[in-house]
Amino acid sequence: MNFDHRPWMPRRTSAVAFLVSFSFGTILLVTFQLTDSEAVFVLGFFYVIAAIVANLIVLTNNLLRICFYKAGRKSLLIGSALLLLNLPIAYYYFNIVTNF
């Protein structure tokens, strides 16, 4: 499928990836803090790995589109920035879990 005529599509995908990653990560963090369950900790560990892979795929797609297509570069940059915003949030959550 050719998305060249819809440059907003990757930005929407980036926003959805950001929201899902952020929301599910926050839910796992709160659940871990409330229960101090080792099962939630392990689930969170595997979630982080899956989220990294998924976000890297979307980010790579955005960067390739920025390099090869002129249409929608601003939208793609905004979407990429949203994905990169997850990095300091994940670091902060990691510090909370390790210092808890």
DSSP string, 11-26: HHHHHHHHHHHHHHHH
- pTM given for the model: 0.81
pLDDT digits (tens, 9 = 90+) for 14-68: 889 999 999 999 999 999 999 999 999 999 999 999 999 999 999 999 999 889 8
Cβ 80 vs Cβ 59: under 8 Å: yes
Of 59, 45, 57, the closest CA to residue 90 belongs to 45
SS3 34: helix
Number of other residues whose CB lies within 10 A of the CB of residue 4: 11
**Residue 96 contacts by C-beta under 8 Å, 6 or more apart in sequence?**
29, 33
Tokens 């390790």 correspond to 98
Domain boundaries, the chain: 8-98
Tokens 């979407």 correspond to 79
Q: pLDDT tier at 10 (50, 70, 90 boundaries)?
A: low
